[in-house]
């Protein structure tokens, strides 16, 4: 007897994964805040969130299944013609070199057969569904199940089929929802590829067992190439969203995932050890190749960011690229990308985070250059309120990295004396915490107006008392540890 529904023939865990939901919330804005990491703020970053809270936006509008449908793009996919993927008539980014690797049989790390696996027949059965929207939904669920089962090449095949189904969907709302899910799922797949294939140390003394584990994993070069293909597909599909707002937002999300992937390659592929000897590094040629690929990905992400129509999302995408580059020690590229942002506010925020990364890695000259660029960006802002907020972010960052002289020099960026006074108190207290009371008193005595000195001396004393309290807490904590041994 045939099942009542086509999906009933799939394994139970695929059906259960439907509970996860297909479409994530369609947030039109991303209200992520910005923190410089300083432990003592100036009190002036009162609106230092990256963007204002999301406003009320109408949902994507589109006719129902029974109504007339809007005309679709001429270059949309079609069923019955040349297949999507390697070969002729490819409708989205593809890499034919990967075709032999995608046809390999997948096994788990131990080489044993597993009870519940996604099979190619499941994908073929789903592709027989005539309704494009439903076909895309079930193919995305198959993709997620394959990712959870670590069948990454199978997941790649399923998401390719889901992208083809989304391209055929004529209802604008369902079309956009499918693409949004594809962008999200492709990000999960690219993360899994880089996580599973990164170079690792030896687990066992037995070389044969180590070789067996390595043979069961995707080769790092193939994983990077496949992840880059997923990022390109995400960007291509996001650009086909009909709603201009969601198109810009999900282009930014795809680009952010791409930038994070570049950081992963630079940090975890170029640096990790291989073999049983922890001191045995990757060959220099291999390290250079991984670094080169990480840099190429950043440049590709910057190029893709130029497609974003909404300035707020375009600026955020460029910020994320620059910050990811700075966090992965790609400092020259990070400064170049951040300094190239046209909007002064976004440029200042990106450069502050790049400068912090440089300062914490003792790249002092490069950090000084980046902080100078931040000062120039802040000084070019005409709106007093915004300039005061960004000046506070800059001084918070300088305090957190111990650059008190630069922080004092940056006080002139504030548009009002009251904001400067609050920032001076934060500088004095932070110097007290860092046991720099002599330098702080010299500054207060010679450079601070007389009417401010008593308050600043009090803030300096507060910082010194805080340092003493922290020392005592560490001392008592050490005693407690000794007593328990």
Contacts 24+ apart (CB under 8 A), 284-293: 290/224, 290/265, 290/266, 291/266, 291/330, 293/224, 293/265
In angstroms, rounded to a whole number, what is the distance separating the alpha carbons of residues 355 and 210? Answer: 41
Phi and psi of 463, rounded to 5°?
-65, -40
Q: With a cut of 80, say whether residue 92 has pLDDT above it.
A: no
Compute the half-sphere exposure of residue 324: CA atoms within 13 Å on the CB side of its CA: 25
For residues 368-373, give the mean pLDDT.
Answer: 94
Q: What is the DSSP string of 191-259?
A: HHHHHHHS--B---S-HHHHHHHHHHSPPHHHHHHHHHHHHHHHHHHHTT-SSHHHHHHHHHHHHHHHH
CATH number of the domain at 1-18+83-342, out of 1.25.10, 1.20.120, 3.30.450, 2.40.350?
A: 1.25.10
Domain ranges (residues) in the chain: 1-18+83-342, 416-485
- Residue-wise pLDDT for 340-361, tens only, equals 999 999 999 999 999 999 999 8
The whole-chain average pLDDT of the chain stands at: 78
What pLDDT, on a 0 to 100 scale, did the predictor assign at position 482? 54
- Residue-wise pLDDT for 411-469, tens only, equals 999 999 999 999 999 999 999 999 999 999 999 999 999 999 999 999 999 999 999 99
What pLDDT, on a 0 to 100 scale, did the predictor assign at position 313? 96
What pLDDT, on a 0 to 100 scale, did the predictor assign at position 207? 55
CA-wise closest residue to 360 among 398, 389, 305, 333: 398
Q: With a cut of 70, say whether residue 54 has pLDDT above it.
A: no
In angstroms, rounded to a whole number, what is the distance separating the alpha carbons of residues 161 and 82? Answer: 13
Q: With a cut of 90, say whether residue 371 has pLDDT above it.
A: yes
What pLDDT, on a 0 to 100 scale, did the predictor assign at position 19? 45
What pLDDT, on a 0 to 100 scale, did the predictor assign at position 95? 61
In angstroms, rounded to a whole number, what is the distance separating the alpha carbons of residues 99 and 418? Answer: 65
Q: Which position has the higher pLDDT, 95 or 85?
A: 95
What pLDDT, on a 0 to 100 scale, did the predictor assign at position 66? 41
Alpha-carbon distances of 156 from 63, 84, 105, 162, rounded to whole Å:
31, 12, 13, 10
Q: How confident is the model at residue 477 (pLDDT cuts 50, 70, 90)?
A: confident
Q: Which position has the higher pLDDT, 113 or 412?
A: 412
What pLDDT, on a 0 to 100 scale, did the predictor assign at position 73? 43
Question: Helical H runs in 361-449?
Answer: 364-379, 384-400, 404-409, 417-433, 437-447
For residues 387-401, give the mean pLDDT.
Answer: 95
Q: How confident is the model at residue 271 (pLDDT cuts 50, 70, 90)?
A: confident
Q: Name the DSSP class of 306.
A: T
49 forms bridges with which residues in the sheet? 33
What pLDDT, on a 0 to 100 scale, did the predictor assign at position 22? 44
Task: Name the percent of the chain lying above pLDDT 70.
Answer: 68
- Residue-wise pLDDT for 235-265, tens only, equals 999 999 999 999 999 999 999 999 999 999 9
Give the predicted TM-score (pTM) of the model.
0.70
In angstroms, rounded to a whole number, what is the distance separating the alpha carbons of residues 420 and 441? Answer: 18
Q: With a cut of 70, say whether residue 114 has pLDDT above it.
A: no
Q: Which position has the higher pLDDT, 319 or 197?
A: 319
């Amino acid at each position: 007897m045939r099942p009542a529904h086509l999906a009933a023939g799939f394994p139970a865990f695929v059906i259960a994964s439907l509970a996860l939901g297909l479409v994530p919330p369609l947030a039109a804005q991303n209200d992520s805040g910005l923190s410089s990491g300083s432990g003592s703020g100036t009190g002036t970053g009162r609106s230092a969130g990256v963007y204002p809270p999301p406003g009320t936006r109408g949902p994507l509008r589109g006719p129902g299944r029974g109504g007339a449908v809007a005309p679709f793009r001429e270059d949309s996919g079609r069923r019955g013609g040349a297949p999507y993927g390697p070969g002729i008539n490819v409708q989205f980014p593809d890499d034919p070199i990967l075709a032999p690797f995608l046809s390999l049989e997948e096994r788990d790390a131990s080489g044993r057969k597993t009870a519940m696996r996604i099979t190619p027949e499941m994908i073929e059965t789903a592709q027989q569904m005539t309704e494009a929207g439903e076909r895309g939904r079930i193919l995305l669920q198959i993709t997620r199940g394959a990712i959870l089962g670590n069948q990454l090449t199978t997941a790649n095949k399923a998401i390719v089929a889901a992208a083809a189904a989304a391209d055929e969907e004529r209802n604008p709302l369902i079309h956009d929802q499918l693409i949004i899910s594809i962008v999200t799922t492709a990000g999960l797949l690219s993360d899994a590829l880089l996580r599973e294939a990164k170079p690792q140390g030896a687990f066992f003394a037995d070389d044969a067992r180590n070789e067996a584990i390595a043979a069961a994993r995707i080769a790092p070069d193939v994983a990077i190439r496949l992840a880059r293909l997923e990022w390109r597909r995400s960007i291509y599909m996001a650009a086909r969203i009909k709603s201009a707002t969601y198109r810009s937002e999900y282009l930014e999300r795809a680009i952010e995932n791409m930038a994070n992937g570049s950081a992963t390659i630079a940090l975890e592929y170029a640096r990790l050890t291989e073999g049983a000897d922890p001191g045995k590094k990757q060959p220099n040629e291999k390290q250079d190749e991984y670094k080169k690929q990480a840099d190429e990905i950043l440049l590709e992400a910057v190029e893709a960011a130029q497609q974003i129509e909404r300035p707020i999302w375009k600026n955020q995408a460029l910020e994320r690229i620059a910050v990811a580059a700075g966090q992965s020690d790609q400092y020259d590229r990070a400064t170049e990308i951040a300094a190239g942002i046209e909007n002064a506010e976004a440029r200042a925020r990106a450069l502050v985070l790049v400068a912090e990364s440089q300062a914490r890695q003792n790249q002092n000259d490069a950090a000084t250059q980046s902080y100078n660029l931040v000062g120039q960006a802040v000084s070019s802002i005409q709106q007093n309120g915004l300039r005061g907020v960004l000046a506070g972010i800059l001084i918070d960052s300088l305090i957190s990295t111990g650059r008190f002289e630069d922080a004092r020099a940056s006080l002139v960026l504030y548009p009002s004396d009251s904001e400067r006074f609050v920032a001076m108190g934060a500088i004095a207290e932070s110097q007290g915490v860092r046991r720099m009371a002599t330098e702080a008193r010299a500054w207060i005595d010679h450079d601070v107006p007389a009417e401010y000195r008593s308050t600043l001396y009090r803030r300096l004393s507060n910082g010194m008392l805080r340092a003493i309290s922290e020392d005592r807490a560490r001392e008592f904590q050490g005693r407690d540890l000794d007593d328990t041994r």
